[in-house]
Structure 1
Amino acid sequence: MHDQQTETYHFALNTQREISETLNQSTDIYETLQSSLEKLLKMMNLTTGWIFLVYDEHQYELAAHHQLPPALDEDEQTVMRMDQGCSDCYCLNRYNEDRLTEAVQSIRCARLTDAKKLNPNADTSGLTHHASVPLTIRGAKVGLLNLATPGMREFRDDELLLLESVAYQIGATVERIRLYNKQSDMLITKERTRLARDLHDSVKQKLFALSLTAKGVESLSKDVPTIQEAVSDISTLSQEALFEMQSLIWQLRPEHEEDSVCDALEKQALRLGLNAHVQCACISLNETVQQTFIKIGQEAIFNTYKHSKSNTVKIELKTHDDIVVLTIEDEGVGGALTIPGRFGMKSMQERAAQIGATLSVDSPTNKGTKVEVQLHKEVTCIENDCFTRG
């Protein structure tokens, strides 16, 4: 009996040590959760597991998973995700209703049940139930750890206690990484503000002075056409550089970060003296997607100002099925794709690729330019509340 207790103690200690080492190796939440889940399953001699991160009672995401049965794994784990997942998930419902506050050893998986109802031949790998362990930190909800194996394994009390201890470590790690990322974002914002201030106080002022000097020299060189033409070019270029610098400074400053995509882009258009026609569905975007849409839109609007020879731009944000679409369009001279490097295409494409979006540009000569960004399954949409301005 004593030997068995000693063995149990050493197993629990070793499990916590290995999981702790894994949890402290990365500042990427998803990488950390995936690695920890796989190690925990191996040590507990289990086959399948997944972790939900819970943001509120209406929002969650599948953050990590390992060896899901085909019934849950097909179509990129569609049934496990919030947008098309199970609407009556027992474990998440109990968790959100504060009825799952400790490790529970056997919960019938509603997602597997639904899969069998839809397709009696669905391959569930013999799974029907799973253990559920809440992830919390100081009483705050973080997520849910689900573990399963064929045959409804019965967990001992000491195993459930071990799982709760590991779950607490995972919850603390998620909070640590989130705080780290928040601090990093604050440092980036601080540096962006400093750069914007320095550009405003030095480069912008010098460009302004150059522009004034060029105008003065131009007025004094009326009798020398060659000089007047050269100085006129200098004046025009300095004015363009001044406008570009002003746009860059505005993009660097963090004041617009709380704006919606359309509000931020409308402000950009107005700052450049463009008439903006805005039509947007009210869509809730995660922060990364929102900022990326804003950056791409700003680039497109600036190109409208600089190259289109049009003083009007159309800004549209809409949804179609499971796709959100941002469109920036003008009725200018077009031809943006005929001059390499002119349209900032590479920058916009890179930004779109970073969030898994696709970017297209339609710019026939003399028929205007249309920039369109399409993104799948990254948003929560409120379809019926739309507005139009301009």
Structure 2
Amino acid sequence: MSEELGMQEMVTLKTIAETLNTSNDLSLMLDTVVSKLLELTGLTAGWVFLINERGDYTCVSDYNLPPALLREDKEPMRTGTCWCVNRFKDGRLNHAVNIINCKRLENAVEFKWGDTHNITHHATVPLRSGDKMLGLLNVAAPAKDHFSDSELALLQGVAYQIGSAMERMRLYRAEQRRADLYAKLGEFSTDLGLAVNECSNSDALSVKVVKLLGQHYDWPLTAMIQQKNDVYTVQAAYTGGIVQTLSSASLSIEAANHMNRVINSHRAVSLSAIEMNEIFTRGEPDKTMDSLVSGIAAPLPYHTPGETRILMIRLGTSGPTRADFEVLEALAEHITASWESLKLAENRRELARLEERNRLARDLHDSVNQILFSLSLTAKGVESMLSGSEQLHPAVEAMKDIRSLSQEALKEMRALIMQLRPAGLEEGLLQALQEYGTSQGLQVVVNRTGMRSLPRNIEEALWRIGQEALNNVRKHAGVRSAEVTLKLSDYEAMLTVTDKGKGGANKPKSSSGSSLGLSIMKERAESLGGRLEIVSSSRKGTTVTAVIPLPFEAV
């Protein structure tokens, strides 16, 4: 190699190195480098392909392409295949080489796409950073069908510089994105803390979470997946500035398997485009979910007993970065803390309601209950005084009615106080119902199948349902005995109240006192995801059955 030629190569490498350090924008940097390289080497055309792990290629930069390759918005550079790309995918292109001919240019001649500027061949150089393969640099000139070893060596040196610069830019963009994502995390956390006070339950909070994520982050799609009773549903999704509630249909078996993989991983995992489509479109076309690309999903480490939730995002065409995984896991922790705060707030409200009911029960006991008791005693005394005369006083019958009504009102008041302040639950649900039935003048036989603890809200709901059922036995069945059975399994609690009375129980309506009670029982069961069944006949009596699902954590 002559000294002049060597000096020219040194100047070229130095100029390219300086050019690479002038920008952190990849497209601008590549356009500038390609044009500068062609200027220094006397070549006329050049282009760069970036090729990802899946083998998909993109022409990210070009300079002075012949008209034949510019047709229809550079379609020949965006579609089809060629020798250099195929060899790159196969792992056989490790250094700068001569290309005997170019498939794209051959097609241009064959199909008469336009002028090729007499370019038939090009050199191709792999772009790499360490062991990481990034893409290809191609350069050409009219009537040039061969590149010397020194030319290829120079191109290889330039390619190493470009590869290193691309990796530097990638790291710079990743750090910049990480900083941006974490800055938005602080803003999201502040808004989420305010949203907790506006939400009355976890479902409302899920919708609010999805909306806030969509507003703070640039992810094309954010969604919350809910698992309840082993069924997965898309609870809410935010895309295109709109929150969609999609919980009406459960996910397919394939999509559910993907969700199980996420839960079992205990951390954020990536989802392919195929998996994303299985989750959101269920195999059916959906314009709002078109072209779903890869995504990330992270399980929420804390969840309501019996339920699990998964936070999911869809990414842009650039694919996931380490920062996306880190921030999604941090978001899952923040959302978990918010759910815990919401649960504590619900517990505080429940304690406040219990305290208010206890206060009301004490007030009723100290005031109205005592007055009714006094009224009953007074009526009995007046009745005794009037009955002692020789001639029966006409007010005696009225006093009897007053005494009877006051005693009935006293019994109803005691039952109301018992409902407001459920004493005896600490000894167990069946014991409390048996004692309550005894206080109402009923003989109650209790049976139990299965052993496990009941959450407080479920135990209290069954207690209220059992109370109302025993009240109906006392008022309407015409008998003084009932049977209460509690069956517990791993998945549900079943409370049955049976009597052998005259039957005729109404279906839950609000037209009468008794049917209103049945409606209230039904609402209590359904509020916990359960159901209420009533079977009544004049020959066999009435059976009231409440079935409520149990959380698996209580086993």
TM-score, scaled to structure 1: 0.70
Partner SS for 1:221:
helix
Q: State how far apart, in whole Å, the 2-side matches of 1:80 and 1:203 are.
A: 62
Is residue 2:520 matched to residue 1:347?
no
Q: Does 1:123 pair with 2:283? A: yes
Q: Residue 330 of structure 1 is aligned with which of 477, 494, 499?
A: 499
Matched, 1:29 2:202: yes
2:202 maps to a residue whose letter is I
Cα 1:144–1:128 shift into 2, 3 Å: farther
Q: Specify the code of the residue in structure 2 equivalent to 1:205.
A: Q
Distance 1:160 1:286, change over 3 A: same
Q: Specify the alignment match of 2:31 in structure 1.
A: none
Out of 474, 485, 491, the residue aligned to residue 305 of structure 1 is 474
1:239 aligns with 2:407: yes
Q: Is the 8 A contact 1:37 1:49 kept in 2?
A: yes
How many angstroms does 1:269 deviate by?
A: 1.0
Tell me, in whole angstroms, the C-alpha distance in 1 between the residues paired with 2:544 and 2:423. Answer: 25
**What residue number does 1:89 align with?**
260
Comparing 7-16 with 292-301, greater Cα deviation is found at: 7-16
Deviates more, 1:364-373 or 1:292-301: 364-373
Which residue identity does 2:367 align to in structure 1? Answer: S
The residue type equivalent to 2:518 in the other structure is: M
1:105 alignment counterpart: 269
1:371-382 matches, cutoff 5 A: 371-374=544-547, 378-379=549-550
1:234-313 aligned at under 5 Å gives the runs 234-258=402-426, 260-282=428-450, 286-313=455-482
Which whole-Å CA distance do the structure 1 matches of 2:202 and 2:184 have between them?
A: 23
Trace 1:43-62 onto structure 2 (pairs within 5 A). 43-47=217-221, 49-51=223-225
The equivalences for 1:155-194 within 5 A come to 155-194=320-359
Instruction: Give the fraction of aligned pairs with identical amino acids, expressed as a percent.
Output: 27
Residue 220 of structure 2 contacts residue 316 of structure 2 at CA under 8 Å; is this kept in 1? no
Using a 3 Å threshold, how does the CA distance of structure 1 residues 381 and 218 change in structure 2: closer, same or farther? farther
Report deviation, 1:202: 1.3
CA displacement at 1:333 relative to structure 2: 3.6
Let me know the Cα RMSD of the aligned residues.
4.8
Q: Which residue is 2:378 aligned to?
A: 213
CA contact (8 A) 2:484 2:497 kept: yes
Which stretches in structure 2 are left out of the alignment for 5+ residues? Answer: 1-23, 26-171, 239-245
Deviation at 1:343, TM superposition (A): 4.9
Pair 1:78–1:7, CA change in 2 (3 A): closer
User: 1 CA distance for matches of 2:404 and 2:250?
Assistant: 54
Q: 1:388 maps to what in 2?
A: none
TM-score (normalizing by structure 2): 0.52
User: Contact conserved, 1:133 with 1:167, CA < 8 A, in 2?
Assistant: yes
Indicate if the aligned counterparts of 1:314 and 1:328 stay in contact, CA closer than 8 A.
yes
Q: Identify the range of structure 1 (227-236 vs 151-160) with the bigger mean alpha-carbon deviation.
A: 151-160
Q: Which residue of 1 is the match for residue 394 of structure 2?
A: 226
Distance in 2 (alpha carbons) for counterparts of 1:44 and 1:201: 62
Give the 3 Å change call, closer, same or farther, for CA 323–330 of structure 1 in structure 2. Answer: same
CA distance 1:225–1:41, change in 2 (3 Å): same
Change (3 A) 1:344 1:224: same
CA distance in 2, matches of 1:277, 1:321: 24
Is residue 15–residue 40 contact of structure 1 (8 Å, CA) maintained in 2? Answer: no
CA contact (8 A) 2:233 2:250 kept: no
**In 1, distance between residues paired with 2:463 and 2:375?**
31
Structure with greater Cα Rg? 2
Q: Distance in 1 between matches of 2:252 and 2:386?
A: 71
Contact 2:423 2:432 in 1 (8 A): no
1:280 maps to amino acid: R
Greater mean deviation of Cα atoms: 157-166 or 168-177: 157-166
Q: Read off the aligned partner of 1:236 and give its amino acid letter.
A: S
- 1:177 is displaced (CA, Å) by 1.0
Partner of 1:119: none
Compare relative contact order (CA 8 Å, sep 6+) and give the higher one, 1 or 2: 1
User: In the TM superposition, what is the alpha-carbon distance from 1:78 to its structure 2 partner?
Assistant: 8.6
Q: 1:60 to 1:341 in 2, by over 3 A?
A: closer
- Structure 1 position 62, deviation (Å): 7.3
Q: Distance in 2 between matches of 1:362 and 1:225?
A: 49
Checking the alignment, whether the CA contact within 8 Å between 1:352 and 1:359 is kept in structure 2 is: yes
> Using the alignment, how far apart are the partners of 2:317 and 2:445 within structure 1?
60
For the 8 Å contact 2:232–2:250, the answer to whether it is kept is: no
The offset of 1:178, in angstroms, is 1.3
Q: Structure 1 pair 186/89, CA: closer, same or farther in 2 (3 Å)? A: same
Aligned 8 A contact 1:335 1:366 in 2: no
**Contact residue 177 and residue 323 of structure 2 kept, 8 A:** no
Aligned to 2:53: none
Preserved CA contact (<8 Å) 2:429 2:463: yes
Contact 2:234 2:247 in 1 (8 A): no
Counterpart position of 2:183: 13
Name stretches of at least 5 consecutive residues in structure 1 with no aligned partner.
117-121, 386-390
Displacement of 1:292 after TM fit? Answer: 2.6
Corresponding position of 2:141: none
- Contact persistence 1:292–1:352 (CA under 8 A): no
Q: What is the CA distance between 1:318 and its match in structure 2?
A: 4.1
Work out whether residues 234 and 251 of structure 2, in 8 Å CA contact, stay in contact via their aligned partners in 1.
no
